[in-house]
Structure 1
Amino acid sequence: MGQSLVKNYVHIIFSTKNRQPLLQNDYEEELYKYLGGTCKTHHCTPIQVGGHLDHVHILCLLSKNMTIAGLLEELKTDSSKWMKKRAEQLSKFYWQDGYGAFSINPSQVDTVINYIKNQHEHHTNKSFQDEYRGFLKKYKVDYDERHVWG
């Protein structure tokens, strides 16, 4: 086969260090645009970016030339530096180590887009930890609770 053809939808989730509620309205939308721009820079088409106070969700098409780990390194490093310049209280901004990345069936893309768009409403009655545990169970990921939040 002479050509490599790839179409991998990935739902990425990661949180602020110690799940601090630092993603405030003042710069939240700018952050999501910045994260989408970082995806584009690395040829990973952003489809929907959103989140709430202490975490972000990114639905993108993963480039055939980029690993998930490589994309996460770029996203976290670049956006952490960017956030630190936004406000004095963000001078020590960091993302938590680790992340979740889940493959999405093309038939579920619209569902995931809507899920990400409705993060503020969704988190009126569910914590990030409960949300994330739900994803781990849904995708049957084996995990040790002691190492998920550290």
Structure 2
Amino acid sequence: MQDHIHILTHVNTTISIAALVKDIKLASSDFIMREAVFPSFKGWQDGYGAFSESIKSKDRLIQYIKNQEDHHQKVTFLDEYTALLEEHEIGFDPKYLL
């Protein structure tokens, strides 16, 4: 995907999602820039989205992530993300989704 990534992980209850995302962004930014993996990469956006699921959903989520390229040919990331927020009644300001 060109504008976002999906990460499926198990997180210990002693680690906050914010701390995990911060560490992932810092380490991956350092690697991407040091190795010039994506020459036009300027850094990650300020925000992120995180959703929790039951371990029973693991196989379904793996397939969902594997099929992202095909999936986003039919539904844009922004449309899908907005629908998820609305479905779960999570308030948001659209200006922060760009």
Tell me the TM-score normalized by structure 1. Answer: 0.58
Question: When you count helix as a share of all residues, which structure comes out higher?
Answer: 2
Is residue 119 of structure 1 aligned with residue 68 of structure 2?
yes
C-alpha distance in structure 2 between counterparts of 1:66 and 1:143, whole Å:
25
Task: Give the superposition deviation at 1:86.
Answer: 3.1
The match for 1:101 is: 50
C-alpha distance in structure 2 between counterparts of 1:140 and 1:62, whole Å:
24
Question: Could you tell me which of 44, 50, 59 is aligned with 2:8?
Answer: 59
The match for 1:142 is: 91
Task: Give the superposition deviation at 1:59.
Answer: 1.1
- Provide the aligned length of Structure 1 versus Structure 2: 98
Question: When you count strand as a share of all residues, which structure comes out higher?
Answer: 1
- State the secondary structure of the residue aligned to 1:100: coil
The match for 1:5 is: none
Deviations 1:99-126 (A, max 9, x none): 1111102332222111001111111122
Query: Which of the pair has the greater relative contact order for Cα pairs under 8 Å at 6+ separation?
Result: 1
C-alpha distance in structure 2 between counterparts of 1:112 and 1:136, whole Å:
18
Consecutive unaligned residues of structure 1, counting only runs of 5 or more, are: 1-51
Tell me the TM-score normalized by structure 2. Answer: 0.85
C-alpha distance in structure 2 between counterparts of 1:141 and 1:119, whole Å:
23
Q: Would the alpha carbon gap of residues 108 and 92 (structure 1) be closer, same or farther in structure 2, given more than 3 Å must change?
A: closer
Consecutive unaligned residues of structure 2, counting only runs of 5 or more, are: none
- State the secondary structure of the residue aligned to 1:95: coil
The match for 2:22 is: 73
Structural RMSD (CA) = 1.9
**Does the Cα contact within 8 Å between 1:102 and 1:139 map onto a contact in 2?**
no
Q: Would the alpha carbon gap of residues 63 and 54 (structure 1) be closer, same or farther in structure 2, given more than 3 Å must change?
A: same
Structure 1 stretches of 4+ with a deviation exceeding 4 A read: none
Aligned AA (2:20): L
C-alpha distance in structure 2 between counterparts of 1:128 and 1:86, whole Å:
27
